[in-house]
Structure 1
Amino acid sequence: MRDPVTDPATAAFVAHRNLLFTVAYEMLGSAADAEDIVQETWLRWAEVDLGQVLDQRAYLVRITTRQALNRLRTLSRRRESYVGPWLPEPLLTTPDVALDVELAESVSTALLLVLETLSPTERVVFVLREVFDIGHDEIAEAVGKTPAAVRQIAHRAREHVQARRPRAVASPSQTRAALESFRQALETGNPQGLLEVLAPDVVLLSDGGGFKQAALRPVIGFENVSRFIVGGIGRSTAVLTVEPIVANGNPALALHLDGELDGVMSLRVDGDHVVGLYYMRNPEKLSGMQHATTLRR
């Protein structure tokens, strides 16, 4: 039996585990599925002859990619019958994720939703190339394509994402100010306060997964969004508390009713106003909020 303390295979896997989770999460948008993929990677890695492995990191990423690609094809079919809008599973992230601007953007709810519009192979190629800067030849081995085909897929996916990537830009101080204004209006149930901080064309997506009340379609416009928030959250008889957090490396709010986590709301800010709201209420997707997750590139 291998000694987990001195075994080289275990040491290599542990050293790259956070990276492998990040790769799988960006490909799947689900922490639960990413954890499954990491475990499957370990089972396959444990059977590998390390003497034949030239680059352990590359080999581990290749195993993870193949497993994630298979899972992604299954998830794509499953999400077609999902109740209401599907949102990626939020993660409570460690402070260093927010400091890595490129990583924080790549795991943001807004960008993960854009990646959902790619085909499984396009998404995998885009993530490996654009986020983790992996070479075309290495990606080709992972996805079973030629390097030339991977270059074409990468180019097509990049153009697709660039055309749909959110353009909103706000300074850290603007983001903090908008977040605090929104938090206060939300906690006090102040409709006027909400109208002042929401952009006229703000869009809210909510995910209840069929377990909790949520809008089955996007809510568009500051009056409709304010009405939805006040009429939904504000109508509860429970005591609402709103806590600023960092989810997926970006500003977010954790909503508690009578001290119990009820949902997570991620915000997209442009200038002084909130232009996008992503409200996760599905209890099956809130496990990633129990402890901070370390992501790595």
Structure 2
Amino acid sequence: MDGDLLSELLAPLRLHGVFYSRWSARAPWGVAGDRDDCAILHYVQKGTCTVELPETRPIQLRAGDLAVFPRGSAHHLADAPGRPTVPLAHLLPQRTPGAVRTVWIDGPGPETTMLCGGLHYDAAAAAPLYRALPRVLVLDSAMMSGQPLLADTLARLAGEWDTAEPGAQLVALRAFELTFVLALRAALGNLAADEPVLRALRHPAISQALLAVHTRFAEPWTVETLAAEAGLSRSAFAATFRELVGEAPMRHLTARRMQEAARLLAETALPHGRISERVGYRSPVGFHLAFRQWYGTTPGDYRRSRPDTGT
């Protein structure tokens, strides 16, 4: 991942809030979480638990293990496979970013304690390769021992539970952001070699093209010039890119441009003409048409729907 492509893939997510909770659950117990537009982390401090997702085998987590759900996939957590579950919304009816909660589930069996966090982000800003990540990534305690910064950050988060301190919410957000990025970096290094997202990130030619798309999207790229950047023929580049990334090079470029355009519309007061230039469109009309086709709304309507637009 030359040039820190992982950072470029994560940057457009614009993490903006974290809800986190500490769990103490005594068997038997089971909780069903719906899909959410946030990255979810479960860190087991004590005991064990089972993660169940549709059409996959149950995953057992032990003390010191970390499970990451990059796209907030729906899943069940329980002390054992097949347990009856209660909806997460019944235990935590409101999970507002910035809030902290403690959940107690009483029972006669062994206790499991966990630290759970939900990092909120704009789902529309997720890069295609990010959306191609596995539904869950697990770092077991042995892998965690090789990641001292990650392990230390989690240990401090688990022990820091006084939200009355000044700046506590911002500190928690930054700490969970660090945990998330470190966990993804470590998990990607341990994915099976045939995972499409890993093959794309590790492919010397395609990763070079991806880095160009994500950092130099305003340039007048064509399939031919991207192929030259990658050092491949046009046909070989187009076929390999589609195979590994899951879409054509120019569509991936459009996705990145639209991500940046949406960010500029939401966070700045730049005129539409300036934004069109910044994201690689030679005319405001072409930008307007492309944006409307991509998001189903005009740039102006998109900006008006975002109350946090810069002034």
TM-score of the aligned structures, taking structure 1 as reference length: 0.29
Structure 1 or 2: more helix by fraction: 1
- Taking CA–CA contacts closer than 8 Å with sequence separation of 6 or more, which of the two structures ends up with the larger relative contact order? 1
**Higher Rg:** 2
TM-score of the aligned structures, taking structure 2 as reference length: 0.28
